[in-house]
Amino acid sequence: MFFLPGHGKSAKLSTEEKAGKDAVGFSAASACGLTTERLTIDHRDLGNFAYFFETATGNIDAPQTTGHLDALADAMVAEPADPHENSLIPPVFTYFGQFIDHDITANTDREDGLSVIDTEKVVPLERGTVRDNLKNLRSGALNLDSVHGGGPVVGGFASKLIDALRFHGDRAKLWAGTVTDAGFGDIRPPDDPARDVLRLRDLLRKGLVTEEELRALPKPLRDVFVNEDGSIRVQRAVLGDMRNDENLAVSQFHLAWVRLHNEIVQRSYTHGDNHPDAPGAGSDALFDWGRRRTIWVYQWLVLNRYLEAVCDPETLNDVRKNGTRVYDRFFANNLPARPDLMPLPLEFSVAAFRFGHSMARDAYDWNELFGRPFGAPLTDHATFRQLFEFTGGATPPMPLPGGGGAESLPSHWPIDWSRFVFPVTEETPDRSARRIDTRLALPLRNLINEPEGAHAVLKHLARRNLRRGHRLNVPTAQGCIAALRDGYGIDTPQLSPDQIASGATAEAVLAGGFEAHTPLWFYVLKEAETLSGGQSLGPLGSRIVADTIVGLVRHDPDSFWNAAPGGQSWSPADSILPNGVAITGLPDLMRAAGTLKD
């Protein structure tokens, strides 16, 4: 049978679902970092999740569906040394996408409340229930509150930590952390000590928090910072979103934005770059000014470089030419209670924008000690697993080669961005993202730093994604394509059942009946694999991703589109020149932040 969505008033919540509603203000550190206290929260303070296509056909809901989804997930995990994994996309875009996701969305991948998936059988929820009760723990806007701090809901201790994000020596700037000398020499640039994100040890050293204060915190907030034996987890990152320290690549990308903010502020001291009160403005005013301009650079790069790197050019050009027709109607139907909140479609958050999982590599040409040139490297490449070990959430964190652990990132582990941001060549195939396709890197079958789960689900990324989409009743790909055609007059090429049931996943697709009723996340990957050889998203994936992201910027009154001089035509190269660099792409971003030299 098919599961067809309920309409109108939501169904009565189950006990499990009520628990999720009550816990909406209880954001675990793995979800959005600093908002970790139980609060009484009005849903109007939170962003909305809803559906682009609420009446579109849902997934098959049969007794065997959960097992069929798991079998499909297992078939998606690649074998080692896949000769066809390399794309022409620089690997920075894998983690740029993850950074964007953490900036705009949280609460669709938490194992509690509405979205429990570690069960024997996953039962889809009515869409009205999801829409009315699942709320975004981030603002939904592309506003870098993951870097500068903030978000829709912040408790007392969280507010203290957010205030600590500002550098104690100059509160117009953000506080970056320093590395620990590991005896191998430093990886440069940058040529200054700020090569790590801010960590708890830095706050302890300055007396901004105390060990006694941390041990007195309520559970589970205490567990974020204190080990079971009472020792303090000094390596814990202190960020606007602690998920940005879940792997070292996204952590180092986060650091680049911290440094960019500081360079923008620093330039205002000597050049007065369009600051209305520079150079004599107070630190709060200058912090806000630097924050706003850093956000504009970020938004411009997202629209003009990130989307160009991952989207089908024809679809992206249509969105640019004809506007965000889908998101515009979605926004009007899901108006936020506050102007700083942006609604997000579940087709985007739970399915299409998870395409980046397929871009993660097994190993990276990380820096001169973990990649080429092969003089006397510590290892040939930095492994995907190692990127998760050098975070504050690992057990144990920050291991040193001779044993023991560092209190911050060891000095031989900062990234060499020259290996991540430049175009891929025949000589540098390991300096690329994996293709966007239905084959995931082997480590994604057994994620480090994640719990096993009673049904072996939580460490298996593909199982999590497919089960989550089923639980939250995301429409099938075919349902989305029909809704675009019938509701918007947008004709989208559709894969045939034979194309969907092809390759290594064919048997699992046919067994589940997914060739005609395809889970959206899987379809987005199969579409990219089939129509672009994995070099970009296909038409449906590009439509959902580009329409949403461009729509977020268009509807944000404070975005560069609406607030910068020149509006939509504004470019950071027009006026923002940190380190004297005119920012036109990702290499320029790293040069401006002082983390890349030619």
Q: What is the pLDDT of residues 561-579, one digit of tens each?
A: 999 999 999 999 988 899 9
CA distance 560 to 572: 10
Pair of tokens at residue 404: 């023991």
Look at the block and give the residue holding tokens 């996408």.
97
The answer on 231 and 372 residing in a single domain is yes
Mean pLDDT, all residues of the chain: 88
For residue 80, the model assigns a pLDDT of: 64
29 lies in the same domain as 84? yes
Q: Kindly give, in sequence order, each residue whose CB lies less than 8 Å from that of residue 304, ignoring residues fewer than 6 positions away.
A: none
pLDDT (tens digit per residue) in 268-299: 888 765 555 454 568 999 999 999 999 999 99
Model's pTM, two decimal places? 0.92
Q: Which helix (H) or strand (E) holds 236?
A: none
Q: Note the pLDDT of residue 110.
A: 79
Q: Decide if 8 is inside a domain.
A: no
Whole-angstrom Cα distance, residue 142 to residue 148?
12
Taking the C-alpha atoms of residue 431 and residue 446, their distance in angstroms, rounded to an integer, is 24
Is 564 within a domain? no
C-alpha dihedral sign at 353, 109, 87, 573: positive
The answer, yes or no, to whether residue 509 has pLDDT greater than 80, is: yes
Strands 47-50 and 344-345 turn out to be parallel
What is d(CA 510, CA 501) in angstroms, rounded to the nearest whole number? 6
Does residue 318 sit in the same domain as residue 462? no
Domain range for 37 is 15-143+344-353+434-554
Q: What is the DSSP letter of 364?
A: E
Question: What contacts 196, CB < 8 A, 6 or more positions away?
Answer: 176, 177, 178, 179, 251, 255, 408, 409, 414
Q: Are residues 392 and 414 in the same domain?
A: yes
> What was the pLDDT predicted at 313?
98
282 in the same domain as 190: yes
Region of 510 (left: φ > 0; alpha: ψ -120 to 50; beta: rest) is: alpha
Q: SS3 for 172?
A: coil
Interval 192-216 mean pLDDT: 96
Q: Is the pLDDT score of 12 beyond 50?
A: no
The verdict on 126 and 192 lying in the same domain is no
Which helix (DSSP H) or strand (DSSP E) does residue 468 occupy? helix 461-471
Residues 390 and 537 reside in one and the same domain: no
44, pLDDT greater than 80:
no
For residue 21, is it within any domain? yes
* Reported confidence tier of residue 40, pLDDT bands at 50, 70, 90: very low
Residues 417 and 450 in one domain: no
Q: Could you tell me if 349 and 331 lie in one domain? A: no
Q: Do 579 and 473 belong to one domain? A: no
pLDDT tens per residue across span 445-467 = 888 878 878 777 888 999 999 99
Q: How many domains does the chain have?
A: 2
Residues 528, 543 share a domain = yes
How many percent of the chain have pLDDT more than 70?
89
For residue 76, what pLDDT band results from cuts at 50, 70 and 90?
Answer: very high
- Both 67 and 117 in one domain: the answer is yes
pLDDT for residue 154: 59
1: buried, middle or exposed (CB in 10 Å: 19+, 13-18, 0-12)? exposed
